[in-house]
Structure 1
């Protein structure tokens, strides 16, 4: 695990985006990460999104770390996880 990236426990379900949004701190900057509900269920299992997110938190954070390190943010600054 990269010690320069720390994940906050502030995840929430964004109904508009149909995604779980969560934050990471990297080099003093707060970064927004996202994982769509569809991708969440494809990667892990179906069910209540926040419950699934918390069940697989370590795996999701590892995926997010790779996206952050690759600097793969979108035009709005979000780091989206995909399959």
Structure 2
């Protein structure tokens, strides 16, 4: 793992966008990472029925999402809002 990218143990659910948000710290800068409910369902093979399901599935697969986010951050593949959209 690249030590210049750190992932604090913090995540939140955005009901409006149906996404889990989690931060990364890259060389002192805070980077917002997001995972859509469709990605959570794809990786888990389960239907997500709200906040509790989403955060539980995210926690189970956290290291997979962090690894994907790390590659996207290193490749500077942020979206128009400066977020890293983690997709499988």
TM-score greater than 0.5 by the shorter chain: yes
Moved over 2 A (4+): none
Task: Show the 5 A alignment for 1:1-83.
Answer: 1-46=1-46, 47=48, 48-83=53-88
Equivalent-residue separation in structure 2 for 1:45 and 1:12 (angstroms): 21
1:43-74 Cα deviation digits (max 9, x unpaired): 22324110011011111110110111111101
Task: Count how many residue pairs are aligned between Structure 1 and Structure 2.
Answer: 83
Equivalent-residue separation in structure 2 for 1:78 and 1:45 (angstroms): 25
Please provide the CA RMSD for this pair: 1.0
Instruction: Point out where structure 2 has 5 or more consecutive residues left out of the alignment.
Output: none
Equivalent-residue separation in structure 1 for 2:17 and 2:70 (angstroms): 21
Question: Residue 59 of structure 1 aligns to a residue in which SS?
Answer: helix
- The two structures have a TM-score, normalised by structure 1, of 0.93
